[in-house]
């Protein structure tokens, strides 16, 4: 948005940048459709959210797609518990008080109908998948950052949705792989 503002100040019609911004908005809409499809209805659902920052390694939430997705889900009646290694203090300054904050990724997942991964943090890519499965009410992960291999997630008992790949389901995994499932 800053580049677009500078371009406009200089009198330059930066159509490519406008198109990139439109594509980014479409990605958020597609992710929300994926959440709706996985859960059927959103009102009253309890969701764990991993990641609030614009990108991993920062507390910057300006123009964060994660924040926009959380706000949209809350408007649809979801109850959200979020965890981010760096951005929770900044988020508390701008979000309404209905958003709950967790002290860890596992705490965000505890009792959730599904877990959403919205920011790419190394910590999230290295979670103990068996423990994560135990924490969730339903073992559903909707991964907006493609942190995991779909077969590994299915082998660990998850219904796993990611971006640009087919959903994976535990029953679709061969028994030998399921019995030897390891952390991703």
Q: Running DSSP on this structure, what letter comes out for residue 171?
A: G
* Cα angle: 155, vertex 163, 81; to 5 degrees: 80
The SS3 assignment for 7 reads helix
Where along the chain do its domains lie? 41-179
- Tell me the pLDDT tens digit for each residue of 147-177: 999 999 999 999 999 998 999 999 865 554 4
In this structure, CATH architecture of domain 41-179 = 3-Layer(aba) Sandwich (3.40)
Query: Structure pTM?
Result: 0.83
Q: How far apart are CA 4 and CA 57, in angstroms?
A: 25
- Tell me the pLDDT tens digit for each residue of 40-89: 899 999 999 999 999 999 999 988 999 999 999 999 999 999 999 999 99
Distance of CA 88 to the CA centre of its chain: 15
Q: Are 53 and 64 in contact, with CB atoms under 8 Å apart? A: yes
Largest CA distance in the chain: 62
């Amino acid at each position: 948005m800053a580049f677009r503002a500078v371009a406009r100040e200089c009198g330059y019609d930066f159509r490519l940048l406008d198109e990139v911004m439109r594509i980014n908005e479409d990605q958020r809409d597609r992710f929300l459709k994926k959440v709706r499809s996985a859960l059927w209805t959103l009102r009253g659902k309890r969701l764990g959210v991993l990641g609030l920052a614009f990108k991993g390694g920062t507390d910057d939430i300006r123009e964060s797609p994660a924040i926009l997705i959380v706000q949209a889900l809350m408007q649809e009646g979801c109850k959200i518990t979020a965890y981010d290694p760096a951005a929770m203090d900044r988020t508390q300054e701008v979000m309404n008080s209905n958003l709950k904050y967790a002290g860890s990724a596992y705490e965000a997942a505890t009792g959730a109908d599904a877990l959403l991964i919205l920011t790419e943090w190394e910590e999230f890519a290295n979670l103990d998948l068996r423990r994560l499965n135990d924490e969730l009410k339903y073992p559903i992960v909707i991964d907006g950052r493609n942190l995991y291999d779909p077969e590994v997630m299915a082998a660990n008992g998850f219904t796993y949705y990611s971006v640009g790949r087919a959903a994976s389901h535990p029953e679709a995994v061969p028994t030998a792989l399921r019995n030897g499932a390891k952390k991703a």
